């Protein structure tokens, strides 16, 4: 694995644009998100509530449609956390992903699946599994915050991260 | 519903390295320094392979005899690119040709600097035009021009 | 794999330039981390089905040429997962964190470091292992840089360059090649759903599903007793804790005890990862095939300094993709296990 000195290498950058059809349920999700609603999809057979919403329940192989979508709480429970503290190129931008950043798995109230997302806390001592968390919308941030936007646009940046709730907010 | 909402537009943007090996390095160095296009000859089937590879794909023999092929060649087929996408090496229109260099036994695909399909035909002769400041890339042969 | 090196026709380069298979059938298989075990299982299918007499299976990776984390992100859902995903280590850190909170942070951290010391000590007996750290200690591991809490630098696998080739043959052809082949007893695969977080996954449910299936088929009641060696796919030290529990080597939360008792050490009842494991070498497209190959090497008695004595039955494991598991069990005797 040690590189031989003077070994001839070509360097290049792949930069491919792509389009990704997100599906009817995700379209509905983002429409509702603009109204500050977080929607999951519920399997009509087993009742499992999926977040993110998707078209098929894997357990039952039953189709879910936009009619099976229902609103979830913007609050939930912290199930796991880490603080990403290593450098890497983010293929979404081609630049280094800024680090360290908090990265959590949580379960929104009403959902049966889990959500992985950014968290604004970067000290691993501040997290406690089982504590309450809350989705943050971009228009609720201070105006000088890098993720602030004056209004919701119905895209993934509407929820820039999830925050830890302090004890009294339970 | 607008197309915008149904489709997520993203990019995959990743830097890469590729260890091209000693044969490619020699090939590109000869082009850059000496304006020579070099191939290798199979000791078993005597085919001359350009760009050079270490192993003859038919005989599985190691090829070590370097031979110069001509800077001129014959077009065996061509197409003219007129539509534009985000990932083109050049501004269209331009042509791609399958070119058999004089003395080679395989073809290479490269750019032909002639975008009028009427002026292109199979069997026509072309000559390599070299990039002024070589960078050890295959585009150090900038393009082939009709003779 | 395509997205790690940014190339697409690699099957021709490996198949023709490196192997001389001009005009022979060549198939590329890429299933992420499980690529090597998918290759290993498809090699078995090709022979067992009678379609081919002899097959060569090759796995490879050159992670120096791209970046594992960057490439892995491109494999996931563009809308929901790519923006925040930090390759494999971020989710593996979340899983370790859940494991620690369930079974005790201090004890789990120490056990994880013990795994690193065990595997990297084994690697010192394997000339093909990437990381050679014969004098590694738990203190050294536990004081290395925090990469993604609770994972420290030495809790993580390296990014390696490497390849692995395995020859498969049917009964007649095998006799011509060697007097001492490793025989396939069975394979098992469990793939999960698209989104990795539908379950918490810290205890790798697919490993439980796949292993129960193959144990039942082969009549294995207690894997620690019935297997002689296991090569598992542990991208992190914590993964070995959780994966071995999922494979039924002990109850959930009990792998630390297995380590304390020396069961999975080279001299124990079921040595785990005599090759040094993924913690010592990780060329991703080859990694799971290396696990299968090591199982074969151990059965064939060709392990040299890392040979476990008297191996009759060995298991190899692949892990990857959306937390998938693939297993093979190999034996010395061509007759069925029981
Ligand atoms: Zn269902
Ligand atoms: Zn030849």
C71-97 confidence digits (pLDDT tens): 999 988 999 899 999 999 999 999 999
Q: Is the peptide bond before A100 cis (omega within 30 degrees of 0)?
A: yes
Whether A2 shows a pLDDT value over 70: the answer reads: no
Whether A136 shows a pLDDT value over 50: the answer reads: yes
Distance from CA of B120 to the nearest CA of C (A): 30
Domain enclosing residue C139, as ranges: 2-331
Q: How far apart are CA C330 and CA C334, in angstroms?
A: 10
Mean pLDDT across chain A: 93
Domain range annotation of chain B: 19-146
Distance from CA of B116 to the nearest CA of C (A): 32
pLDDT digits (tens, 9 = 90+) for C198-210: 777 889 999 999 9
pLDDT of residue B12: 93
Number of domains in chain C: 1
Contacts of A5 (CB under 8 A, 6+ apart): none
| Residues of chain A numbered 37-76 and touching chain C (CB < 8 Å) | 50, 52, 54, 58
pLDDT digits (tens, 9 = 90+) for C157-170: 999 999 999 999 99
Residues of A in contact with B6 (CB under 8 A): 21-22, 27
Q: How far apart are CA C73 and CA C78, in angstroms?
A: 9
Give the pLDDT mean for C277-298.
97
Q: Do C288 and C312 form a contact (C-beta atoms < 8 A)?
A: no
Chosen for mutation from A5, A8, A11, A92 (greatest number of chain B CBs closer than 10 Å) is A8
CATH number of the domain enclosing C68: 3.40.47.10
Q: Is residue C338 part of a domain?
A: no
Residues of A in contact with C144 (CB under 8 A): none
Residues of B in contact with A152 (CB under 8 A): none
ipTM confidence: 0.93
State whether C197 and A116 contact (CB < 8 Å).
Answer: yes
Q: Do C38 and C318 form a contact (C-beta atoms < 8 A)?
A: yes
Q: Is residue A1 within 8 angstroms of chain B, CB to CB?
A: no
pLDDT band at C196 (very low <50, low <70, confident <90, very high): low
| Total length of chain C | 338
Q: Do B81 and B94 form a contact (C-beta atoms < 8 A)?
A: yes
The dihedral sign for the CA sequence B54, B59, B61, B67: negative
E strand or H helix at B72: strand B72-81
* Ligand at shortest distance from the CA of B60: 2
Q: Do A80 and A117 form a contact (C-beta atoms < 8 A)?
A: no
Q: Is residue A88 within 8 angstroms of chain B, CB to CB?
A: no
Residues of A in contact with B13 (CB under 8 A): 13-16, 91-94
Rounded to two decimals, the pTM is 0.94
Contacts of C194 (CB under 8 A, 6+ apart): A54, A58, C77, C322
pLDDT < 70 regions, chain B: 1-3
Q: How many CB atoms lie within 10 A of CB C161?
A: 18
Distance from CA of A144 to the nearest CA of B (A): 26
Residues of B in contact with C65 (CB under 8 A): 16-19
Q: How far apart are CA B128 and CA B142, in angstroms?
A: 8
Distance from CA of A12 to the nearest CA of B (A): 5
pLDDT digits (tens, 9 = 90+) for C115-125: 999 999 999 99
């Amino acid at each position: 694995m040690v590189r031989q000195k003077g070994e001839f290498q070509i360097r290049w950058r792949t930069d491919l644009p792509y389009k990704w059809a997100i599906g009817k349920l995700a379209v509905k999700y983002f429409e509702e998100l603009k109204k500050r609603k977080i929607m999951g999809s519920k399997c009509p057979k087993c009742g499992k509530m999926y977040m993110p919403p998707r078209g098929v329940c894997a357990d039952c192989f039953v189709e879910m449609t936009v009619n099976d979508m229902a609103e979830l709480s913007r609050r939930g429970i912290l199930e796991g956390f880490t603080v990403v503290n290593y450098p890497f190129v983010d293929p979404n931008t081609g630049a280094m992903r800024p680090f360290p950043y908090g990265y959590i798995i949580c379960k929104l109230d009403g959902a049966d699946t889990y959500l992985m997302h950014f968290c604004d806390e970067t000290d691993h001592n501040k997290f406690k599994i089982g504590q309450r968390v809350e989705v943050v919308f971009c228009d609720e941030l201070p105006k000088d915050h890098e993720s602030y936007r004056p209004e919701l646009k119905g895209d993934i940046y509407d929820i820039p991260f999830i925050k830890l709730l302090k004890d009294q907010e339970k | 519903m607008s197309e915008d909402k149904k489709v997520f537009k993203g990019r995959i943007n990743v830097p890469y390295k590729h260890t091209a090996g000693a044969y490619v390095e020699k090939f590109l160095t000869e082009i850059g320094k000496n304006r020579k296009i070099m191939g290798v000859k199979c000791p078993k089937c005597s085919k001359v392979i350009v760009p050079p590879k270490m192993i003859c794909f038919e005989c599985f023999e190691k090829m070590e005899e370097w031979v110069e092929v001509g800077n001129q060649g014959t077009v065996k087929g061509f197409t003219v690119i007129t539509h534009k996408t985000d990932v083109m090496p050049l501004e269209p229109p331009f042509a791609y040709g399958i070119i058999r260099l004089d003395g080679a036994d395989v073809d290479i695909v490269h750019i032909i600097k002639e975008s009028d399909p009427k002026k292109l035909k199979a069997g026509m002769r072309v000559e390599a035009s070299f990039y002024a400041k070589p960078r050890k890339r295959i585009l150090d042969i900038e393009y082939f021009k009709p003779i | 794999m395509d997205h790690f090196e940014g190339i697409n026709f690699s099957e021709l380069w490996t198949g023709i330039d490196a192997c001389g298979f001009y005009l022979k059938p060549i198939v590329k298989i890429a299933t992420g981390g499980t690529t090597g075990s998918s290759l290993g299982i498809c090699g078995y299918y090709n022979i067992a089905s009678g379609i081919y007499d002899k097959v060569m299976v090759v796995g490879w990776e050159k992670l120096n040429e791209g970046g594992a984390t960057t490439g892995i992100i491109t494999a996931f859902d563009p809308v929901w997962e790519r923006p925040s995903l930090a390759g494999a280590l971020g989710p593996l850190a979340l899983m370790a964190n859940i494991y620690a909170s369930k079974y005790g942070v201090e004890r789990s951290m120490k056990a994880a470091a013990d795994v690193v010391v065990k595997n990297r000590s084994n690697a010192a007996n394997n000339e093909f292992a990437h990381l050679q750290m014969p004098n590694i200690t738990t203190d050294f591991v536990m004081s290395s840089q925090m990469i993604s809490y609770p994972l420290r630098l030495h809790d993580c696998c390296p990014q390696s360059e490497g390849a692995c080739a395995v020859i498969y043959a049917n009964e007649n052809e095998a006799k011509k090649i060697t007097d001492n082949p490793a025989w396939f007893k069975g394979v098992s695969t469990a793939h999960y759903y698209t989104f990795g977080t539908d379950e918490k996954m810290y205890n790798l449910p697919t490993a439980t599903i796949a292993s129960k299936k193959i144990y039942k088929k082969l009549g294995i009641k207690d894997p620690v007793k019935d297997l002689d060696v296991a090569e598992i796919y542990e991208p992190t030290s914590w993964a070995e804790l959780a994966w071995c529990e999922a494979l039924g080597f002990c109850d959930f939360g009990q792998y630390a005890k297995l380590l304390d008792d020396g069961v999975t050490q080279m001299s124990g009842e079921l040595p785990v990862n005599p090759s040094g494991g993924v913690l010592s070498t990780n060329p991703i497209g080859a990694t799971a095939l290396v696990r299968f190959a090591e199982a074969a090497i151990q059965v064939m008695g060709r392990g040299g300094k890392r040979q476990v004595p008297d191996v009759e039955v060995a298991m190899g494991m692949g892990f990857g993709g959306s937390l998938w598991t693939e297993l093979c069990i190999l034996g010395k005797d061509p007759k069925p296990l029981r």
